[in-house]
Structure 1
Amino acid sequence: MEDTKTASILLLGDPGCGKSTLLSRLSQGQHAPKGSAPLPKLHDLDQPFIFDISMYNRPYRFEFYDTSSPENYTLLQPDFVILCFDVTDRRSLINVPQVWRKDVTRNYKKDGDDPPLMMLGLKRDARVEEEGVIYPQEGYRIAQEMRCDRYAECSAVTGELVSEVFEDIARTAAKTKTDAGGLTQGGCMVM
Protein backbone atom coordinates (compact mmCIF):
# COMPACT_ATOMS: atom_id res chain seq x y z
CA MET A 1 0.00 0.00 0.00
CA GLU A 2 1.33 3.42 -0.93
CA ASP A 3 2.05 6.09 1.63
CA THR A 4 -0.81 8.39 2.52
CA LYS A 5 -0.50 11.83 0.94
CA THR A 6 -1.38 14.61 3.39
CA ALA A 7 -2.69 17.99 2.27
CA SER A 8 -3.41 20.89 4.60
CA ILE A 9 -6.43 23.03 3.74
CA LEU A 10 -7.03 26.41 5.37
CA LEU A 11 -10.49 28.01 5.50
CA LEU A 12 -10.32 31.80 5.86
CA GLY A 13 -13.26 34.16 6.21
CA ASP A 14 -15.16 36.42 8.54
CA PRO A 15 -16.43 35.04 11.85
CA GLY A 16 -19.93 33.63 11.41
CA CYS A 17 -19.71 33.13 7.65
CA GLY A 18 -20.29 29.37 7.97
CA LYS A 19 -16.84 27.73 7.93
CA SER A 20 -17.36 25.71 11.11
CA THR A 21 -20.85 24.66 10.04
CA LEU A 22 -19.43 23.36 6.76
CA LEU A 23 -16.83 21.31 8.64
CA SER A 24 -19.54 20.03 10.99
CA ARG A 25 -21.57 18.85 7.99
CA LEU A 26 -18.50 17.19 6.47
CA SER A 27 -17.70 15.47 9.77
CA GLN A 28 -21.04 13.66 9.63
CA GLY A 29 -20.05 11.94 6.41
CA GLN A 30 -21.67 11.58 3.04
CA HIS A 31 -24.64 9.51 4.22
CA ALA A 32 -25.73 11.77 7.08
CA PRO A 33 -29.35 12.92 6.90
CA LYS A 34 -29.42 16.41 5.44
CA GLY A 35 -31.18 19.10 7.42
CA SER A 36 -32.81 16.79 9.98
CA ALA A 37 -30.33 16.31 12.83
CA PRO A 38 -28.47 19.14 14.54
CA LEU A 39 -24.89 19.48 13.39
CA PRO A 40 -22.18 18.70 15.96
CA LYS A 41 -20.28 21.61 17.47
CA LEU A 42 -16.61 21.74 16.56
CA HIS A 43 -13.99 23.35 18.78
CA ASP A 44 -10.81 25.17 17.76
CA LEU A 45 -8.72 22.91 19.98
CA ASP A 46 -9.84 19.91 17.89
CA GLN A 47 -7.95 21.23 14.86
CA PRO A 48 -6.94 20.07 12.41
CA PHE A 49 -10.20 18.44 11.37
CA ILE A 50 -9.01 15.30 9.57
CA PHE A 51 -10.67 13.48 6.69
CA ASP A 52 -9.10 10.28 5.35
CA ILE A 53 -10.29 9.26 1.89
CA SER A 54 -9.11 7.24 -1.06
CA MET A 55 -8.86 8.82 -4.52
CA TYR A 56 -7.01 7.88 -7.67
CA ASN A 57 -6.24 4.49 -6.07
CA ARG A 58 -4.27 6.22 -3.32
CA PRO A 59 -5.01 7.15 0.31
CA TYR A 60 -5.19 10.86 1.15
CA ARG A 61 -5.44 12.69 4.43
CA PHE A 62 -6.94 16.17 4.32
CA GLU A 63 -6.25 18.36 7.35
CA PHE A 64 -8.69 21.26 7.54
CA TYR A 65 -7.88 24.35 9.57
CA ASP A 66 -10.70 26.82 10.29
CA THR A 67 -9.84 30.35 11.32
CA SER A 68 -10.99 33.91 11.17
CA SER A 69 -7.71 35.11 12.67
CA PRO A 70 -4.78 34.22 10.39
CA GLU A 71 -2.25 35.71 12.79
CA ASN A 72 -2.70 32.48 14.76
CA TYR A 73 -1.85 30.40 11.71
CA THR A 74 1.03 32.21 10.05
CA LEU A 75 3.35 29.25 10.70
CA LEU A 76 0.99 26.96 8.79
CA GLN A 77 1.90 26.53 5.14
CA PRO A 78 -1.36 25.27 3.63
CA ASP A 79 -1.40 23.36 0.38
CA PHE A 80 -4.81 24.82 -0.50
CA VAL A 81 -6.70 27.89 0.80
CA ILE A 82 -10.47 28.35 0.71
CA LEU A 83 -11.69 31.94 0.99
CA CYS A 84 -15.18 31.77 2.51
CA PHE A 85 -18.03 34.28 2.61
CA ASP A 86 -21.68 34.35 3.62
CA VAL A 87 -23.90 34.86 0.53
CA THR A 88 -26.32 36.88 2.72
CA ASP A 89 -23.68 39.26 4.10
CA ARG A 90 -22.16 41.74 1.67
CA ARG A 91 -19.49 42.78 4.22
CA SER A 92 -18.16 39.21 4.30
CA LEU A 93 -17.90 39.26 0.48
CA ILE A 94 -16.13 42.64 0.50
CA ASN A 95 -13.64 41.31 3.05
CA VAL A 96 -12.62 38.40 0.81
CA PRO A 97 -10.47 40.54 -1.55
CA GLN A 98 -9.76 43.34 0.92
CA VAL A 99 -8.71 41.23 3.91
CA TRP A 100 -8.46 37.48 3.31
CA ARG A 101 -6.88 37.45 -0.15
CA LYS A 102 -4.23 39.90 1.05
CA ASP A 103 -3.53 37.68 4.07
CA VAL A 104 -2.90 34.75 1.74
CA THR A 105 -0.35 36.74 -0.25
CA ARG A 106 1.30 38.07 2.91
CA ASN A 107 1.40 34.85 4.95
CA TYR A 108 1.07 31.73 2.83
CA LYS A 109 3.34 31.93 -0.22
CA LYS A 110 5.05 28.69 -1.21
CA ASP A 111 8.11 28.90 -3.42
CA GLY A 112 7.17 32.49 -4.26
CA ASP A 113 3.60 31.65 -5.34
CA ASP A 114 0.26 31.71 -3.60
CA PRO A 115 -1.21 28.27 -2.93
CA PRO A 116 -4.22 27.20 -5.02
CA LEU A 117 -7.27 29.24 -4.00
CA MET A 118 -10.97 28.53 -3.94
CA MET A 119 -13.67 31.08 -3.19
CA LEU A 120 -16.64 29.48 -1.44
CA GLY A 121 -20.04 31.06 -0.84
CA LEU A 122 -21.73 29.60 2.23
CA LYS A 123 -25.31 29.77 3.58
CA ARG A 124 -26.73 29.33 0.08
CA ASP A 125 -30.05 28.22 1.63
CA ALA A 126 -30.49 31.64 3.30
CA ARG A 127 -30.20 33.68 0.07
CA VAL A 128 -33.31 35.85 -0.38
CA GLU A 129 -34.15 37.59 -3.65
CA GLU A 130 -33.95 41.24 -2.61
CA GLU A 131 -31.92 44.34 -3.30
CA GLY A 132 -28.27 43.83 -2.46
CA VAL A 133 -28.43 40.04 -2.63
CA ILE A 134 -25.19 38.35 -3.66
CA TYR A 135 -25.84 36.20 -6.73
CA PRO A 136 -23.41 33.46 -7.84
CA GLN A 137 -22.37 35.52 -10.88
CA GLU A 138 -21.06 38.30 -8.64
CA GLY A 139 -19.12 35.89 -6.46
CA TYR A 140 -17.66 34.19 -9.54
CA ARG A 141 -16.62 37.55 -11.03
CA ILE A 142 -14.80 38.50 -7.81
CA ALA A 143 -13.14 35.06 -7.70
CA GLN A 144 -11.89 35.62 -11.26
CA GLU A 145 -10.58 39.10 -10.41
CA MET A 146 -8.63 37.62 -7.48
CA ARG A 147 -7.28 34.86 -9.75
CA CYS A 148 -8.85 32.08 -7.68
CA ASP A 149 -8.65 28.60 -9.15
CA ARG A 150 -12.17 27.60 -8.14
CA TYR A 151 -15.55 29.08 -7.19
CA ALA A 152 -18.47 27.26 -5.57
CA GLU A 153 -21.44 27.72 -3.27
CA CYS A 154 -23.21 25.38 -0.87
CA SER A 155 -25.41 25.18 2.22
CA ALA A 156 -24.01 23.25 5.16
CA VAL A 157 -27.32 23.47 7.04
CA THR A 158 -29.39 21.77 4.31
CA GLY A 159 -26.50 19.84 2.76
CA GLU A 160 -27.18 21.36 -0.66
CA LEU A 161 -24.08 20.92 -2.89
CA VAL A 162 -21.86 20.01 0.09
CA SER A 163 -20.85 16.64 -1.40
CA GLU A 164 -20.00 18.26 -4.72
CA VAL A 165 -17.99 21.01 -3.02
CA PHE A 166 -16.10 18.46 -0.92
CA GLU A 167 -15.29 16.42 -4.05
CA ASP A 168 -13.95 19.55 -5.75
CA ILE A 169 -11.89 20.45 -2.67
CA ALA A 170 -10.55 16.88 -2.45
CA ARG A 171 -9.59 16.78 -6.15
CA THR A 172 -7.80 20.12 -5.95
CA ALA A 173 -6.06 19.27 -2.66
CA ALA A 174 -4.96 15.89 -4.07
CA LYS A 175 -3.49 17.64 -7.12
CA THR A 176 -1.33 19.78 -4.83
CA LYS A 177 0.56 16.57 -4.05
CA THR A 178 1.51 16.00 -7.71
CA ASP A 179 4.34 17.52 -9.70
CA ALA A 180 1.84 19.65 -11.65
CA GLY A 181 0.35 21.12 -8.45
CA GLY A 182 -3.21 22.21 -7.83
CA LEU A 183 -3.24 25.49 -9.72
CA THR A 184 -5.85 25.70 -12.48
CA GLN A 185 -4.56 26.38 -15.97
CA GLY A 186 -6.50 29.10 -17.74
CA GLY A 187 -8.49 30.74 -14.96
CA CYS A 188 -11.22 30.25 -12.39
CA MET A 189 -13.42 27.15 -12.66
CA VAL A 190 -17.01 27.11 -11.44
CA MET A 191 -18.07 24.03 -9.54
Structure 2
Amino acid sequence: MSSENTNVSKPLYRDINADDDDPEVMELESYCVNCEQNGKTRLFLTKIPFFKEVVVSSFTCDNCGLHNTGLQPGGKIQEKGVKYVCKINDAKDLNRQIVQTDNATVLIPKLEFEVPPNKGTLTTVEGVIQAAIDGLSHDQPVRKIQNPEVATQIDTFIEKLNALKELKEPFEIILDDPSGNSFMENPYPLHI
Protein backbone atom coordinates (compact mmCIF):
# COMPACT_ATOMS: atom_id res chain seq x y z
CA MET A 1 0.00 0.00 0.00
CA SER A 2 1.56 3.27 -1.04
CA SER A 3 0.62 6.73 0.02
CA GLU A 4 1.25 9.71 -2.13
CA ASN A 5 1.85 13.11 -0.66
CA THR A 6 -0.22 15.49 -2.75
CA ASN A 7 0.44 18.50 -0.55
CA VAL A 8 2.32 21.12 -2.47
CA SER A 9 4.46 23.39 -0.36
CA LYS A 10 3.69 27.04 -0.95
CA PRO A 11 6.23 29.77 -0.22
CA LEU A 12 5.80 31.72 3.01
CA TYR A 13 5.70 35.07 1.14
CA ARG A 14 3.62 34.95 -2.02
CA ASP A 15 3.45 37.45 -4.86
CA ILE A 16 0.52 39.86 -4.82
CA ASN A 17 -1.90 38.53 -7.41
CA ALA A 18 -5.49 39.69 -7.92
CA ASP A 19 -6.37 36.29 -9.41
CA ASP A 20 -5.16 34.35 -6.34
CA ASP A 21 -8.21 32.49 -5.01
CA ASP A 22 -6.35 31.34 -1.87
CA PRO A 23 -4.25 34.26 -0.56
CA GLU A 24 -3.52 32.46 2.77
CA VAL A 25 -4.59 35.11 5.22
CA MET A 26 -3.84 34.06 8.80
CA GLU A 27 -6.51 34.97 11.32
CA LEU A 28 -5.76 35.25 15.05
CA GLU A 29 -7.83 36.19 18.06
CA SER A 30 -6.30 39.34 19.57
CA TYR A 31 -6.79 41.65 22.53
CA CYS A 32 -8.52 44.96 21.78
CA VAL A 33 -6.78 47.85 23.55
CA ASN A 34 -9.90 49.99 23.15
CA CYS A 35 -12.58 47.85 24.86
CA GLU A 36 -10.41 45.10 26.42
CA GLN A 37 -12.40 42.37 24.64
CA ASN A 38 -11.18 40.01 21.92
CA GLY A 39 -10.97 41.07 18.30
CA LYS A 40 -9.45 39.53 15.18
CA THR A 41 -6.09 40.18 13.59
CA ARG A 42 -5.53 39.12 9.99
CA LEU A 43 -1.98 38.74 8.69
CA PHE A 44 -1.03 38.45 5.04
CA LEU A 45 2.57 37.71 4.06
CA THR A 46 3.28 38.84 0.52
CA LYS A 47 5.93 40.03 -1.93
CA ILE A 48 5.64 43.37 -3.65
CA PRO A 49 6.97 43.08 -7.22
CA PHE A 50 10.47 44.52 -7.71
CA PHE A 51 10.70 45.14 -3.95
CA LYS A 52 10.62 42.64 -1.10
CA GLU A 53 8.51 40.76 1.40
CA VAL A 54 6.04 42.60 3.64
CA VAL A 55 3.51 41.71 6.33
CA VAL A 56 0.11 43.36 5.90
CA SER A 57 -1.99 43.32 9.08
CA SER A 58 -5.57 44.27 9.84
CA PHE A 59 -7.29 44.33 13.23
CA THR A 60 -11.05 44.55 13.76
CA CYS A 61 -13.08 44.43 16.95
CA ASP A 62 -16.76 43.55 16.54
CA ASN A 63 -17.43 44.67 20.12
CA CYS A 64 -16.40 48.35 19.83
CA GLY A 65 -15.82 48.80 16.09
CA LEU A 66 -12.09 49.56 16.34
CA HIS A 67 -10.31 48.93 13.06
CA ASN A 68 -6.72 49.52 12.02
CA THR A 69 -4.29 48.32 9.42
CA GLY A 70 -0.55 48.22 9.19
CA LEU A 71 2.35 47.24 7.01
CA GLN A 72 5.72 46.01 8.26
CA PRO A 73 8.83 44.89 6.41
CA GLY A 74 9.10 41.12 6.24
CA GLY A 75 12.87 41.19 6.57
CA LYS A 76 15.62 42.92 8.45
CA ILE A 77 16.46 46.61 8.62
CA GLN A 78 18.68 47.35 5.67
CA GLU A 79 22.32 48.38 6.00
CA LYS A 80 21.63 51.65 4.17
CA GLY A 81 18.66 53.96 4.01
CA VAL A 82 16.79 54.79 0.82
CA LYS A 83 15.70 58.04 -0.71
CA TYR A 84 13.42 58.02 -3.75
CA VAL A 85 13.03 61.28 -5.65
CA CYS A 86 10.38 61.19 -8.34
CA LYS A 87 9.01 63.75 -10.78
CA ILE A 88 5.25 63.31 -11.15
CA ASN A 89 4.26 64.15 -14.73
CA ASP A 90 1.23 62.01 -15.58
CA ALA A 91 -1.51 59.72 -14.25
CA LYS A 92 0.79 56.71 -14.35
CA ASP A 93 3.13 58.51 -11.96
CA LEU A 94 0.20 59.32 -9.62
CA ASN A 95 -0.60 55.60 -9.48
CA ARG A 96 2.91 54.55 -8.41
CA GLN A 97 2.70 52.26 -5.40
CA ILE A 98 4.43 53.48 -2.26
CA VAL A 99 5.43 51.29 0.67
CA GLN A 100 5.88 53.76 3.51
CA THR A 101 7.27 52.10 6.63
CA ASP A 102 6.96 53.62 10.06
CA ASN A 103 10.40 55.24 9.68
CA ALA A 104 9.75 57.00 6.37
CA THR A 105 9.03 60.63 5.60
CA VAL A 106 7.25 61.78 2.44
CA LEU A 107 7.99 65.29 1.18
CA ILE A 108 6.47 67.44 -1.54
CA PRO A 109 9.00 70.30 -1.82
CA LYS A 110 6.81 72.46 -4.09
CA LEU A 111 4.33 72.93 -1.23
CA GLU A 112 6.89 72.64 1.57
CA PHE A 113 4.73 69.73 2.73
CA GLU A 114 5.97 66.82 4.83
CA VAL A 115 4.22 63.65 5.97
CA PRO A 116 6.17 62.58 9.07
CA PRO A 117 6.89 58.96 9.96
CA ASN A 118 3.66 57.22 10.86
CA LYS A 119 2.37 53.66 10.86
CA GLY A 120 3.42 51.63 7.85
CA THR A 121 1.15 51.79 4.84
CA LEU A 122 0.81 50.61 1.26
CA THR A 123 -0.60 53.40 -0.89
CA THR A 124 0.02 55.38 -4.09
CA VAL A 125 1.32 58.89 -4.76
CA GLU A 126 -2.30 59.98 -5.22
CA GLY A 127 -3.20 58.14 -2.00
CA VAL A 128 -0.59 60.13 -0.04
CA ILE A 129 -2.08 63.38 -1.35
CA GLN A 130 -5.67 62.24 -0.71
CA ALA A 131 -4.83 61.18 2.87
CA ALA A 132 -3.42 64.67 3.48
CA ILE A 133 -6.57 66.27 2.05
CA ASP A 134 -8.77 64.01 4.19
CA GLY A 135 -6.75 64.75 7.31
CA LEU A 136 -6.82 68.50 6.77
CA SER A 137 -10.53 68.50 5.88
CA HIS A 138 -11.56 66.47 8.92
CA ASP A 139 -12.15 69.30 11.41
CA GLN A 140 -12.72 72.13 8.92
CA PRO A 141 -16.40 72.78 9.78
CA VAL A 142 -15.55 73.32 13.46
CA ARG A 143 -12.36 75.20 12.59
CA LYS A 144 -14.31 77.62 10.37
CA ILE A 145 -16.35 78.61 13.43
CA GLN A 146 -13.56 78.64 16.01
CA ASN A 147 -10.70 79.99 13.92
CA PRO A 148 -11.83 81.22 10.48
CA GLU A 149 -8.41 82.62 9.46
CA VAL A 150 -6.68 79.27 9.97
CA ALA A 151 -9.57 77.49 8.23
CA THR A 152 -9.13 79.77 5.19
CA GLN A 153 -5.39 79.01 5.07
CA ILE A 154 -6.10 75.28 5.26
CA ASP A 155 -8.72 75.55 2.49
CA THR A 156 -6.12 77.29 0.31
CA PHE A 157 -3.62 74.51 1.01
CA ILE A 158 -6.21 71.83 0.24
CA GLU A 159 -6.79 73.54 -3.13
CA LYS A 160 -3.04 73.28 -3.82
CA LEU A 161 -3.09 69.57 -2.93
CA ASN A 162 -6.08 69.03 -5.24
CA ALA A 163 -4.18 70.81 -8.04
CA LEU A 164 -1.37 68.26 -7.59
CA LYS A 165 -3.86 65.40 -7.95
CA GLU A 166 -5.25 67.03 -11.09
CA LEU A 167 -1.68 67.33 -12.47
CA LYS A 168 -2.08 71.02 -13.27
CA GLU A 169 1.73 71.03 -13.39
CA PRO A 170 4.49 68.51 -12.66
CA PHE A 171 5.77 68.19 -9.12
CA GLU A 172 8.39 66.26 -7.20
CA ILE A 173 7.77 63.79 -4.37
CA ILE A 174 10.46 62.39 -2.08
CA LEU A 175 10.27 59.21 -0.01
CA ASP A 176 13.08 59.18 2.57
CA ASP A 177 13.58 56.16 4.85
CA PRO A 178 16.70 55.75 7.01
CA SER A 179 15.75 52.09 7.68
CA GLY A 180 15.91 51.28 3.95
CA ASN A 181 12.62 49.38 3.99
CA SER A 182 10.36 51.79 2.09
CA PHE A 183 9.79 51.66 -1.65
CA MET A 184 8.38 53.70 -4.53
CA GLU A 185 7.33 51.74 -7.59
CA ASN A 186 8.85 52.41 -10.98
CA PRO A 187 5.97 52.12 -13.48
CA TYR A 188 8.57 51.22 -16.11
CA PRO A 189 10.64 48.59 -14.22
CA LEU A 190 12.35 47.20 -17.29
CA HIS A 191 13.52 50.64 -18.45
CA ILE A 192 16.26 52.18 -16.39
Q: Could you state the TM-score of these two structures normalised by the residue count of structure 2?
A: 0.23
Which fold has the larger relative contact order, with Cα–Cα distance below 8 Å and residues 6 or more apart in sequence? 1
Which has more strand, going by share of residues?
Answer: 2
Q: Which has the larger radius of gyration?
A: 2
Which has more helix, going by share of residues?
Answer: 1
